[in-house]
Structure formats: C-alpha cells, structure tokens
C-alpha cells in the first residue's frame, strides 16, 4: 500500500513539473509573440489561458511591451482580454508612458481611450514625450487633459525638459498650450537657463519671445 501511494505521489509530481514547464514555455512564447507583433500566436495563447496581465522579470506587462513596440493590433487584443491599462512595471512606468516615450501616437490614443492615466504623480506621459521630442504625442496628450506644467520628481516641467534636450518644435507646442516660460525650480533654474547652458540658441530666442527672463 505504501509503495502504491509513493508511486502515485511520484507520478503526480512529474505531471506537475511537466505542466509547469509547458506553462513557462507558453509564457515565453507569448512575450516573444507580442514583441514580434505575431497576433495569431497571441490569440492562440490567450485562448490557451495565458493571462493578459502576465509580466516578465522586470515587471513589464504584455501591454507595456506592446505599447513600447507600437504594435497596435496586439495592444487592442490585450485590452480586449482585460489587460490592466494602468499597470506599472518595476520602475513605475505604464504602457502609455512608454508609448509616449517611443512616439507611438496610435498606441497613445488607444490607451487614452481605454482609460490610461495622463496625470499620475511623478513622471507622466507628457514628460516622457517631451524628453524625446515627440511633438505630436505632446499635442495629443495636452488636448486630452494632460497638465502642461505637471512637474517631474526633480521638479522640472515638460517645457524645461524639452528645452534642455533641444526639441524646438516640442517647446513651441508646449508654449502654444500655455506652458509657463517663467516656471522655475527651487534652485531658480528655468527653461531659458537650461536651453542657454545646452547651447540651444533657437530655443533661447523662442523662450524670450514668450516672456522668459534671464
């Protein structure tokens, strides 16, 4: 009797190990499919039971990966499978933040329509877009309710960040949407000072025209 119970235990353990290995491989396949924009495989694996909210070792969810890569069809399918639109990765980034950073305007629009947060505390999609000079993304975010002067954790505004990075058209778009050219940090640093220090002469002139002072 004891040998029979022991045999059943060993068989059960082996079956669980095989199942676990199969699940792990399926999850790896899902992340590869999302990265490669392989919608049929994504569909098949969702049907097999892979959770649309699965995340990798860095905390990036499938939706975050799809948004970062700009794979809109895959992103739409994950949203249809109830992927959490405001899930964060290990450093607090959301899908819309990374879509904004990469300039994936279509993904940004779809995520905003699905309820993505535009004004979280700390880093925001607008700050990410301003850093990379994604002007059209900035315009869309602002038209959708993003706060034009919402500060980064270090206190810098989107205008300051765009000015320091040398993104002339982004600076122009932010000023058009009433970004404050006089905004300053506790250290009294301003967009004008950052642009001047970085040697961005056209931005310095534009900020002065907008009322920025030395």
Q: Kindly state whether residues 135 and 112 are assigned to the same domain.
A: no
What is the pLDDT of the chain when averaged over all its residues? 91
CATH number at residue 6: 1.25.40.20
Given CA atoms 214, 202, 136, 193 in this order, what sign does their dihedral have? negative
pLDDT in tens, 169-213: 999 999 999 999 999 999 999 999 999 999 999 999 999 999 998
To the nearest 10°, report the CA torsion of 199, 152, 68, 21: 130
Q: Kindly state whether residues 62 and 79 are assigned to the same domain.
A: yes
DSSP state of 186: T
pLDDT at 23: 64
pLDDT at 16: 35
Query: Would you place residue 12 in the very low, low, confident or very high pLDDT band (cuts 50, 70, 90)?
Result: very low
- In terms of residue numbers, what domain contains 182? 120-214
pLDDT at 9: 39
**Where is the domain boundary, 117, 142, 173?**
117
Q: Where are the alpha helices (DSSP H) in 133-167?
A: 135-143, 158-165
Domain total in the chain: 2
pTM for this entry: 0.88
What is the C-alpha separation between 126 and 94, in angstroms, rounded? 12
Instruction: Report CA-CA distances (Å) from 12 to 4, 24, 51.
Output: 12, 18, 25
Q: Kindly state whether residues 8 and 76 are assigned to the same domain.
A: yes
pLDDT at 67 > cutoff 90: yes
Q: Kindly state whether residues 164 and 96 are assigned to the same domain.
A: no
Q: Kindly state whether residues 111 and 184 are assigned to the same domain.
A: no
Q: Kindly state whether residues 3 and 75 are assigned to the same domain.
A: yes
Q: Kindly state whether residues 39 and 99 are assigned to the same domain.
A: yes
**Where is the domain boundary, 117, 140, 170?**
117
pLDDT in tens, 88-130: 999 999 999 999 999 999 999 999 999 999 999 999 999 999 9
pLDDT in tens, 79-89: 999 999 999 99
Task: Decide: 135 and 173 in contact? Cβ < 8 Å.
Answer: yes
Closest CA relative to residue 163, chosen from 214, 207, 210, 103: 207
Task: Decide: 197 and 189 in contact? Cβ < 8 Å.
Answer: no
Contacts of 7 (CB under 8 A, 6+ apart): none
Contacts of 180 (CB under 8 A, 6+ apart): 148, 149, 157, 159
Q: Kindly state whether residues 111 and 12 are assigned to the same domain.
A: yes
What is the C-alpha separation between 66 and 71, in angstroms, rounded? 5
Task: Decide: 212 and 182 in contact? Cβ < 8 Å.
Answer: yes
Q: Kindly state whether residues 154 and 60 are assigned to the same domain.
A: no
Q: Kindly state whether residues 110 and 156 are assigned to the same domain.
A: no
Q: Where are the alpha helices (DSSP H) in 36-167?
A: 39-48, 62-69, 72-80, 95-102, 105-113, 125-132, 135-143, 158-165
**Where is the domain boundary, 73, 94, 117?**
117
Q: Kindly state whether residues 18 and 112 are assigned to the same domain.
A: yes
């Amino acid at each position: 009797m004891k040998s029979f119970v022991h045999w059943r235990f060993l068989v059960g353990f082996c079956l669980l190990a095989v199942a676990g290995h199969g699940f792990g491989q399926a999850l790896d396949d899902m992340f590869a499919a999302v990265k490669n924009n392989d919608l049929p495989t994504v569909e098949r694996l969702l049907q097999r039971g892979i959770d649309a909210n699965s995340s990798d070792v860095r905390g990036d969810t499938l939706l975050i990966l799809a948004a970062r890569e700009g794979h809109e069809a895959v992103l739409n399918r994950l949203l249809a499978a109830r992927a959490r639109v405001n899930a964060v990765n290990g450093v607090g980034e959301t899908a819309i933040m990374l879509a904004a950073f990469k300039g994936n305007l279509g993904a940004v629009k779809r995520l905003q329509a699905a309820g993505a947060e535009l004004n979280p505390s700390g880093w925001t999609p607008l700050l990410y877009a301003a850093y990379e000079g994604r002007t059209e993304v900035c315009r869309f975010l602002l038209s959708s309710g993003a706060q034009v002067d919402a500060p980064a954790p270090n206190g810098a505004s989107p205008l300051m960040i765009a000015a320091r990075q040398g993104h002339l058209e982004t600076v122009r778009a932010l000023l058009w949407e009433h970004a404050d050219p006089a905004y300053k940090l506790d250290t009294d640093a301003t967009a004008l000072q950052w642009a001047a220090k970085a040697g961005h002469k056209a931005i310095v002139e534009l900020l002065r025209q907008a009322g920025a002072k030395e």
